[in-house]
Amino acid sequence: MNVVELYGPVQHHWFYNQQVDSKDSWQPFSREDSQRLEDAYSRVGKCEKDEVVVATDGRRYDVRLRERKRYSVYWEQKPAEVRRCSWFHRSIKSMTYNPYSEELCDILEVAYMTAVTLGKWKQHLKLPKGKTVILHNPKLMLQYPSSCKVFPRSPTERTKPRSLKRGIENTSVEIPEGEPEMVDHLVFMVHGIGPAREGRLRRGIVQCVNDFRITSNHLLKSHFSHSEDLCVTGRVEYLPVSWHNVLHGESTGVDKDIERISLPSISRLRQFSNGTVLDLFFYNSVTYCQAIMDTVASEINRLHSLFLQRHPHFTGHASLVGHSLGSLILFDLLTNQETDADSKPHEMYIKLHEDAHVDPGCGSYESLEELLKGHGLEEHLNVLHREQVDMESLMLCSEKDLKDVGIPLGPRKKIMNCVKKWKDSRTGSGNAAQNEMHSPSLGTRNFHEQKTPTTSAVDYQHFDVGIGQVSIDYPQLAFHPQALFAMGSPIGMFLTVRGVKRIHPNYGLPTCKSFYNIFHPFDPVAYRIEPMILPQDVDLQPLLLPHHKGRKRMRLELKGLTRVKSDLLGSLRMVRKNISPVPSPVIAEGGISSMTPADEAEVPPTEKKERNLKVGMLNRGRRIDHVLQEKTIESFNEYLFAIQSHLCYWESEDAALLVLREIYG
């Protein structure tokens, strides 16, 4: 065989430089993106003067070929260097292969072609900076350190050469999978307090969303492969929405103001709290809440418009995901959206206790005679007159007092109920007073003229700024979201602090029909929503999200054994039911369950009843609260994993699967 036939052109692959802890980390493009870049490179040639732009990474980045730079499309990010690579070297202290520059790749390729075609192996090839490469044979190619190098720490580092590989197929570089071109759904993800602290307290919101996107793509392949084969399923695009930089930027100057009044002690702890916890207080400020809300809404609308420009054939819907404080921001934003039939912004009227439950005539009674006659109880008037009871003294009477004077049970209950309503009508101050209490101009009022603060039960039929939302102008979104997913959300706590006692079962977000509250059982920031909708005598546990691989984690399965120790002598049916409880499905109606028909048959009747229980209209009657399954190691110490549990959602397969099932359900 002719020696010349042994040589063949090398397969190039494209890389980009990603900074990790201020160090270079070369990452490969997917095979599809690399092929697109190579095709564009071949078409334009090296003499092309005009810049050529190639969209990569699901059209989230643009690569400018002549400039050799990779630019982000949707968010601010420093441009990354791009290389067309064919030769790689392994670093001394790790097993990873890094690409050479394009110039060195060309030099090495010429030397390799010469060695193969002419059989001249073991030639010394001098590289820039004094390094030497020796091509011993096609399987053994080494780079030796420079002779003028500073003396290393050990003889091993001085003498050990680096291994060279030609072509990416001969290296251990892991090439990421490409993404489908078709986008079925668009999801905007809003961060909580301090995005620099999101994701293991180090990574930013962009990396957190990237992790969630990767998890979602893997689940699409594993759980929706049948639909993919039928060309039904494309992918879901996730875009980050950041508001923290605007709030803490130069335009507001708030960081400088806070820094001037901060104490010099425990500086690191104060810096952490100023960059995170203070966001909660900023959100309750009229000035900064308006800035936060405007930033979130305008950023979502900007990303939505830009996405449609880059995906002109997109026909799907969009949803919203909020983490921590971000979920509260989205909830407040959606409660103030206009519907198509509205001529003005959607108003959320608060119903105080006296408005929703009080007899309109109770507050107008001025005498005992009017009150009793108005409710058909005038026959007991003589008894009360005999005891010298008037309206004022009746307000001080207890049910036992009325029983002692001889009033029967039925009339006694009616009188006490009417007294309670009469008291509420006298102590309540209506919507105007409630709004006045939350007015941004509170500081200009005379404190001596204020009345004693009172609390009233609130019926959450509709909302208004009177429930504690800061009185600002809420912007409108350019679309109607399909669903809102709250992860690690304090919405329930904020509503309670605002004075909301109950969410009316008929209430739903004006432009968003689905709402899910997802939380880890150890998350210290998360609160439930369903107890605010259901009657107080209904004790409904949150739905347990099934593991993405099916059923429960082993620890939760074994936990059922402790509940049946006392029933070991009972029937086999009861033992089996307690040992193998099956988690409820993610979506009660119209969703996809990971349980088999045999598993469904084992679900206890009480669990089936809870699964199908209608919980208001906030999620179209379906369950709202969904709890993740804690890992075995997390169960050893709840406090140790509390902070981590608040950040686990970005990498949670179970949470991502719930989002996908709502989208594709």
Residue 359 has pLDDT above 60, yes or no: no
**In sequence order, what are the residues at sequence separation of 6 or more whose Cβ sits closer than 8 angstroms to the Cβ of residue 63?**
14, 16, 37, 53, 54, 55, 56, 69, 70, 71, 82
Residue 129 has pLDDT above 80, yes or no: no
Higher-scoring residue by pLDDT: 588, 8? 8
Which tens digits make up the pLDDT trace of 107-117?
999 999 999 88
**CB contact at 8 A, 387 and 396:** no
Report pLDDT for 92.
65
Element spanning 522, H or E: none
Report pLDDT for 565.
42
Higher-scoring residue by pLDDT: 210, 428? 210
**In sequence order, what are the residues at sequence separation of 6 or more whose Cβ sits closer than 8 angstroms to the Cβ of residue 66?**
48, 51, 52
**Structural tokens at position 257:** 């103001």
Residue 507 has pLDDT above 90, yes or no: yes
Higher-scoring residue by pLDDT: 202, 352? 202
* 3-class secondary-structure state, position 615: coil
87-93: long-range contacts, CB 8 A cutoff, minimum separation 24: 87/10, 87/164, 87/165, 87/166, 88/164, 88/165, 88/168, 88/171, 88/173, 89/143, 89/162, 89/163, 89/164, 89/165, 90/162, 90/163, 90/164, 90/165, 91/162, 92/157, 92/160, 92/162
Higher-scoring residue by pLDDT: 627, 368? 627
DSSP 534-559: S-TT---PPEEPPPTTSS--HHHHHH
Report pLDDT for 147.
58
**In sequence order, what are the residues at sequence separation of 6 or more whose Cβ sits closer than 8 angstroms to the Cβ of residue 111?**
123, 125, 133, 135
Residue 316 has pLDDT above 50, yes or no: yes
Pairing of strands 53-56, 61-64: antiparallel
Average pLDDT of the segment spanning 66-71: 95
**Structural tokens at position 161:** 């050469």
Pairing of strands 514-519, 483-487: parallel
Nearest in space to 164 (alpha carbons), one of 81, 114, 107: 107
**CA within 13 Å, CB half, 605:** 1
- 138: confidence class by pLDDT, cuts 50, 70, 90: confident
DSSP count for the chain of H helices, then E strands: 25, 22
Nearest in space to 586 (alpha carbons), one of 510, 660, 521: 660
CA angle 554, 556, 560 (to 5 degrees): 110
Which tens digits make up the pLDDT trace of 400-446?
888 888 888 778 878 887 777 766 665 543 343 333 333 333 233 33
Residues of the chain with pLDDT > 90, as a percent, come to: 40
**In sequence order, what are the residues at sequence separation of 6 or more whose Cβ sits closer than 8 angstroms to the Cβ of residue 511?**
334, 337, 338, 339, 477, 480, 481
Overall pTM > 0.75: no
Dihedral sign computed on CA atoms, order 577, 580, 586, 587: negative
* 3-class secondary-structure state, position 505: coil
Nearest in space to 38 (alpha carbons), one of 72, 60, 69, 11: 11
Average pLDDT of the segment spanning 500-504: 90
Which tens digits make up the pLDDT trace of 224-263?
866 555 556 789 999 999 998 888 887 788 888 888 898 9
Which residues, in sequence order, are bridge partners of residue 351?
A: 459
**In sequence order, what are the residues at sequence separation of 6 or more whose Cβ sits closer than 8 angstroms to the Cβ of residue 452?**
none
- 364: confidence class by pLDDT, cuts 50, 70, 90: low
Residue 135 has pLDDT above 60, yes or no: yes
Distance CA(489)–CA(527), nearest Å, equals 6
Residues of the chain with pLDDT > 70, as a percent, come to: 72
CA angle 195, 200, 202 (to 5 degrees): 55
- 635: confidence class by pLDDT, cuts 50, 70, 90: low
**In sequence order, what are the residues at sequence separation of 6 or more whose Cβ sits closer than 8 angstroms to the Cβ of residue 114?**
120, 123
Helix axes 286-310, 325-335, angle to 10 degrees: 80
Q: Is 639 exposed, middle or buried (0-12, 13-18, 19+ CB in 10 A)?
A: exposed
Whole-number average pLDDT of the chain: 78
Which tens digits make up the pLDDT trace of 476-494?
999 999 999 999 999 999 9
**CB contact at 8 A, 484 and 515:** yes
Buried b vs exposed e over 397-432: b needs ≥16 C-beta within 10 Å? Answer: beeeebeeeebeeebbebbeebbebbebbeebeeee
Report pLDDT for 38.
95
Residue 93 has pLDDT above 90, yes or no: no
Report pLDDT for 71.
97
Pairing of strands 97-99, 87-90: antiparallel
**Structural tokens at position 598:** 């045999």
Report pLDDT for 583.
41
Helix axes 254-261, 267-275, angle to 10 degrees: 150
92-95: long-range contacts, CB 8 A cutoff, minimum separation 24: 92/157, 92/160, 92/162, 95/172
Report pLDDT for 212.
96
Higher-scoring residue by pLDDT: 203, 259? 259
DSSP 380-446: GHHHHHHTT--HHHHTT--HHHHHHTT--HHHHHHHHHHHHHHHHHHH--HHHHHHHHT-TTGGGS-
Residue 200 has pLDDT above 50, yes or no: no
Which residues, in sequence order, are bridge partners of residue 124?
A: 134
Average pLDDT of the segment spanning 581-588: 38
Element spanning 503, H or E: strand 502-503
- 594: confidence class by pLDDT, cuts 50, 70, 90: very low
Residues involved in catalysis: 324
Phi-psi region of 620 (alpha: psi -120 to 50; beta: other; left: phi over 0): left
Higher-scoring residue by pLDDT: 580, 487? 487
Report pLDDT for 45.
67
Highest mean pLDDT among 223-232, 301-310, 613-622: 301-310
**In sequence order, what are the residues at sequence separation of 6 or more whose Cβ sits closer than 8 angstroms to the Cβ of residue 250?**
none
DSSP 169-192: GGS-PPPPPP--S-EEEEEEEE--
Pairing of strands 502-503, 458-460: parallel
**In sequence order, what are the residues at sequence separation of 6 or more whose Cβ sits closer than 8 angstroms to the Cβ of residue 110?**
none
Report pLDDT for 188.
98
**CB contact at 8 A, 412 and 399:** yes
Pairing of strands 124-126, 235-241: unpaired
Average pLDDT of the segment spanning 73-77: 95
Lowest model confidence (mean pLDDT) among 86-100, 330-344, 369-383, 569-583: 569-583
The sheet carrying 502-503 orders its strands as 351-352, 458-460, 502-503
Pairing of strands 351-352, 483-487: unpaired
Highest mean pLDDT among 458-462, 495-499, 514-518: 514-518
